[in-house]
Chains A and B, each alone.
Chain A
Amino acid sequence: MEDLPGDVRVDTRVVVEHLRSVVGSAPGSYPRTWLPQATFDELLVRADREPIHLHPSLHHLHRRWDMGHARTHAGSGWGPKAIGRRILARIVNAALDRYFTEEQEFRAALAQSIDGIAYRVDEIASSDLRNLLDVVRNDLLDLSRYVDDRIDTRLSDTRASDA
């Protein structure tokens, strides 16, 4: 996708299948840049209750957990202030490297755990909905059988009286 040479036609079926295969092959690869799993349950999306996984604070967490860029960013510019800042950053990073590494792991684990809990809660809610729909469906089918039986009975009454 990065390179699109010449007038090559983009086959949208291939693009959609590619996206699905990427998500399907790594369903547990969280945390990463925020992206809800494509296995999201449609039932849940239509539910009255907002899915936890779409909560803005979870989005915020996924955007902010990674300190990697801040730690490796060397800054720009060659003025005395910029050079001084770079030197200071190196000293601080070197001194606190172990702490920063632990902090990074902790934040990753935190994001991963909260993400997992959110999915689990949404899954449970989705399963409840599904069970409820099962009950409604069975009730409706019972009702339809009952109505159908009544109609049959009435029709046979009519035929009997006609005879």
Chain B
Amino acid sequence: MAKGAPARGPEDRTRPRVAVVTRHWGDSGDEATAATRLVAGAVSRHADVSIVHLVSPLVPLETLRDSVFEVHRVPVHGARPLRSGILRVALAVHDGGLGVPATAASLLERYEGDAPEVPELLERLAPDAIVLAGHHQPYDIGVLGTRGRPGRARVVVLPYLGDERRLAAEPVCSLIEAADVVGVVHPGERPAVLAACPERSERDVVPLDLALSLNRNAASHRLFGVRWFGRYVLSIRDFPPGGARYVRSVTHEVLRSVVGRVSVAEVDGEQWRISDRENTLELPVSPSRVNLWRLMAHAVATIDLRPPGPFGRETIESMLLGTPVVVPDASAAMEHAAAADGGLWYRDVGELFDATRVLMYRPVRDRLAAQGRAYADAKHGQVDDFVARVGRIVLGDGVA
């Protein structure tokens, strides 16, 4: 039983109560966690928020306080993330995850573990709405009840499909079927959800348009020493430090030779540097997001070399700062760049160089920068609109 998680009756409610069930919480700087925290923060303006954090490896069932959130840590039993990852990669590398054999699919599901305590915890919390953040929900989702049944808590699913959309389509579909509303975090996710679950109406799949607040004042100051290198492109190889990365995708030196006289700044985990043809400067700064903005705001272009994430956060930030992007194809980042007409995308190294060279041409670059910024400001720059929108999505149209 969770410590400090008292059962609540309807009589002690002053505000609506919302439970967010997710694996994506805590200190991890990954995109799914960032998205979940943004949504939970927005919901907390309208309701009391309890986070049901699914944790593996095993932890004792416990309740903690994290800012305005009450966090219930629930263990996921029997999860085998490494095996699951290997099997996913082996299946996806050949056919993009299409045609996964039933045996492998059931095995994948099994590798994701089980959190049998969740239904009981949800029953005790008795929320008015449940947000399922992430498509990994390893428990009997029958506890959510049938959609449309009177008295059932409103269920909102945020699938964060990202690049796993095809492979995850089957298990996700039953989750989406149980939802009253599906919230999507990038423009490509909506058609993917509707294609995978054609019985859902378009009205039920709504864009969240996550709002990001940037410190533009801080970003206006260049990092120390960068000015001496003149114009530069920014390549992001690993950020936040410790995230997923490709090994040796494009070397710093080759990228520098492609962009000619323009310098190259590189963010690679804890190591940041900038170089031109003759000189290299290791940037002695902490690898913080504000420092990333300070590099991003003055760059000719931002080149994203990382494995795609489910949300494309740095792409949106770059466009908000007026810097066009070069991002991987078939990713959330690409969907943002295409919807905004604020950047180009690549399938392979050759296309990455093609796209970067196009952005060396100033009229195109300036136009993409302006288009990207207009889109990002309108869709992702209005925090108050976002808070109101999330309130309506999670609690229904009755929210002010």
Q: Give the number of residue pairs across the A-B interface with Cβ within 8 Å.
A: 113
Cα A43 to Cα B338 with chains together (Å): 25
A12 at the interface (CB under 8 A from B): yes
Decide if B94 touches A133 in the complex (CB within 8 Å).
yes
Give the distance to chain B from A149, nearest Cβ to Cβ, in Å: 9
Chain B residues near A141: list those with CB within 8 A.
101, 103-104
Decide if B341 touches A9 in the complex (CB within 8 Å).
yes
Decide if A16 touches B355 in the complex (CB within 8 Å).
yes
Decide if B345 touches A16 in the complex (CB within 8 Å).
yes
Give the distance to chain B from A46, nearest Cβ to Cβ, in Å: 6
Chain A residues near B90: list those with CB within 8 A.
133, 136-137, 140
Cα A23 to Cα B346 with chains together (Å): 13
Q: Is the interface of B mostly helix, strand, loop or mixed?
A: helix
Chain A residues near B337: list those with CB within 8 A.
12
CB-CB nearest in chain A for B328: A42
Decide if B341 touches A12 in the complex (CB within 8 Å).
yes
What's the tally of chain A residues with a CB closer than 8 Å to chain B? 39
Give the distance to chain B from A36, nearest Cβ to Cβ, in Å: 4
**Do A148 and B342 form a contact, CB below 8 Å, given A41-B348, A45-B246?**
no
B86 at the interface (CB under 8 A from A): yes
B131 at the interface (CB under 8 A from A): no
B224 at the interface (CB under 8 A from A): no
Chain A residues near B248: list those with CB within 8 A.
45-46, 48, 50
Cα A27 to Cα B117 with chains together (Å): 58
Decide if B363 touches A56 in the complex (CB within 8 Å).
no
Chain B residues near A36: list those with CB within 8 A.
349-350, 353
Give the distance to chain A from B103, nearest Cβ to Cβ, in Å: 5
CB-CB nearest in chain B for A145: B103
Chain A residues near B364: list those with CB within 8 A.
1, 4, 10, 15
Decide if B101 touches A38 in the complex (CB within 8 Å).
no
Chain A residues near B358: list those with CB within 8 A.
1, 15, 19
A91 at the interface (CB under 8 A from B): no
Decide if B363 touches A12 in the complex (CB within 8 Å).
no
Cα A59 to Cα B338 with chains together (Å): 31
**Do A20 and B351 form a contact, CB below 8 Å, given A46-B249, A59-B257?**
yes
Decide if A13 touches B338 in the complex (CB within 8 Å).
yes
B91 at the interface (CB under 8 A from A): yes
Chain A residues near B341: list those with CB within 8 A.
9-12
Decide if B342 touches A12 in the complex (CB within 8 Å).
yes
Please give 20 more A-B residue pairs, beta carbons under 8 A apart, in addition to A12-B337, A19-B355: A4-B367, A12-B338, A12-B342, A19-B351, A23-B351, A23-B354, A34-B257, A38-B350, A40-B349, A45-B246, A45-B250, A54-B251, A56-B254, A59-B257, A140-B87, A140-B104, A141-B104, A144-B101, A144-B103, A148-B107
By a beta-carbon cutoff of 8 Å, the part of chain B in contact with chain A is 86-87, 90-91, 93-94, 101, 103-104, 106-107, 246-251, 253-254, 257, 337-338, 341-345, 347-351, 353-355, 357-358, 361, 363-364, 367-368, 371
Sampled A-B contacts (8; CB under 8 Å) = A1-B361, A16-B345, A19-B354, A23-B354, A42-B348, A56-B253, A133-B93, A140-B90
